[in-house]
Amino acid sequence: MEPASGAPGTRVVLTGSGFASAATDNAVRFNGGMLGELAEVTATSVTVKVPEGATTGRVQVETPDGIATVPSDFEITAGSDDGTFETTVRTSVTDDNPPTAAVTTPGRRAQVLFDAEQGDDIGFGVTASTFNSTVTLRLYDPQGAQVESNGYVPADGGNWQAHDLALTGTYSLVVDPGPANIGAATVTVSKASGGVLDLSAPPADTPMLRAGQEGRWTLSGIKGESLGIGIDATAMAKGASLRVDLLGPDGQSVDSAYASGGFTGKLEVEALPTSDRYDLWLHPTNVATGTAKVTASHDADAGQLAVTGPDTELTITRPGRNGIAHFSAQLGRRISLGAKSQGFPSYTSLEVRGPDGKVVDSSFIVSADSTSEWDSPSSRRAAPTRSA
């Protein structure tokens, strides 16, 4: 490709082989979108004019026999950045040596280019920063339109994300320090880790080993079903924090929780609001990295308790899972519950609820490998009991 940069209207010569003999059978696209105007076609070259609205990125040639991509970027030097980019670097979502975006002149900016596909969830980690103050991040799609609103990271670095990208092609992350801020930072670009979460499968590893990388799991739910999610962050560094968000089909938060590095946590939903697909997001804070295990389950239902029958065993074998058992009682009659804990490393909390779902008592606690009792107030109606 010659030249490798230029303004709209620049004539660019692509040299190679296999071009179509009919000029109209050669389609040249800039950054996966804008079609260039063909000026000349030979057996070994295609000459094309850079179209208005083209953005920096790869150039592709498509003929009836296939598609070829130029291995380097064509950089738009006017009409897109007004000459304010001090540095332009390219990276990828698997780059083991993330580039440095440097701005040494006040008022200038840096640009980080990367390829992404439609539907990708991309995380950005800004580390090893020497900037003096907060840095603004802007993401532009292959057609030059801004994606999401601006992102902001503090002077010492941080995370930012862009979800469900609309187009396939080369994206531009603009690092804008502002008029009086200079420095440099390492920029890591990553795709979210995860997949489809099976509520009957073993704990799922969520590797978030790159700065700024998130975890995303999808799961199907039915309206009214319970959902317990266990988060094992023991493989993450102590001091790190992991925010866990469950989003409904409308993208709104259903519930959220936190798990600290080196420890475990859980998120629980008594009844899902609708039947559809849900998204479970894991957001490491402060560019923390590591692997978290995720386990999703419905409540374990031990069925009906009998006041004159044998003990009922409620077994919890999955992290984050809750259990529930039911009993019937008459108004004004006292009911006693006895619970024995076996195998749990810590205490177990039990919550007694009435037929209307309201909590009757939540102070019923059983220590590890111990027993405990609960007696109902005679003036209340005892009903379903649920153990965490």
Phi and psi at 3, nearest 5°, equal -80, 175
End-to-end CA distance of the chain: 64
Spell out the CATH class of 5-76: mainly beta
- Per-domain residue ranges of the chain: 5-76, 85-191, 195-297, 300-387
Residues 21-33 pLDDT 10s? 888 899 999 987 7
pLDDT score at 78? 46
Structure tokens given for 118? 């439609």
Spell out the CATH class of 195-297: mainly beta
Question: Going by CATH, does the domain composed of 85-191 fall within 2.40.30.10?
Answer: no
Q: What share of the chain in percent tops pLDDT 90?
A: 68
260, 234 in Cβ contact below 8 A?
Answer: no
126, 176 in Cβ contact below 8 A?
Answer: no
CA proximity to 188, closest of 214, 154, 215, 165: 214
Name residue, tokens 């519950």: 337
Structure tokens given for 167? 């187009």
Counted residue by residue, the chain has a size of: 388
R_g of the chain, CA atoms, integer Å:
29
Stretch 363-367: mean pLDDT, rounded? 90
Q: What share of the chain in percent tops pLDDT 70?
A: 95
Q: Is 123 exposed, middle or buried (0-12, 13-18, 19+ CB in 10 A)?
A: buried
Name residue, tokens 């991309």: 122
- pLDDT interval class at 54 (50, 70, 90): confident
- pLDDT interval class at 378 (50, 70, 90): low
Residues 135-174 pLDDT 10s? 999 998 887 788 989 999 999 999 999 999 998 888 999 9
- Is the predicted pLDDT of residue 18 greater than 60, yes or no? yes
Q: What is the 3-state secondary structure (H, E, C) of 238-302?
A: CCCEEEEEEECCCCCEEEEEEEECCCEEEEEECCCCCCEEEEEEEEECCCCCEEEEEEEECCEEE
CA proximity to 215, closest of 275, 159, 136, 297: 159
Least confident segment among 66-70, 95-99, 166-170: 166-170
- pLDDT interval class at 77 (50, 70, 90): low
Residues 334-364 pLDDT 10s? 889 999 999 998 899 999 998 988 888 888 8
The overall average pLDDT reported for the chain is: 90
Could you check whether 5-76 and 85-191 share the same CATH topology? no
- Is the predicted pLDDT of residue 80 greater than 70, yes or no? no
- Is the predicted pLDDT of residue 83 greater than 80, yes or no? no
Which residues, 6 or more positions from 102, have their beta carbon under 8 angstroms from its beta carbon? 86, 87, 110, 183, 184
26, 45 in Cβ contact below 8 A?
Answer: no
- Is the predicted pLDDT of residue 53 greater than 70, yes or no? yes
The reported pTM is 0.77
48, 74 in Cβ contact below 8 A?
Answer: no
pLDDT score at 82? 54
- pLDDT interval class at 387 (50, 70, 90): very low
Name residue, tokens 């390219």: 90
DSSP state of 79: S
pLDDT score at 142? 81
Rounded Cα gap, residues 94 and 114, in angstroms: 10
What are the residues facing 242 on neighbouring strands? Answer: 259, 284
- Is the predicted pLDDT of residue 380 greater than 60, yes or no? no
172, 111 in Cβ contact below 8 A?
Answer: yes
Name residue, tokens 């044998």: 310
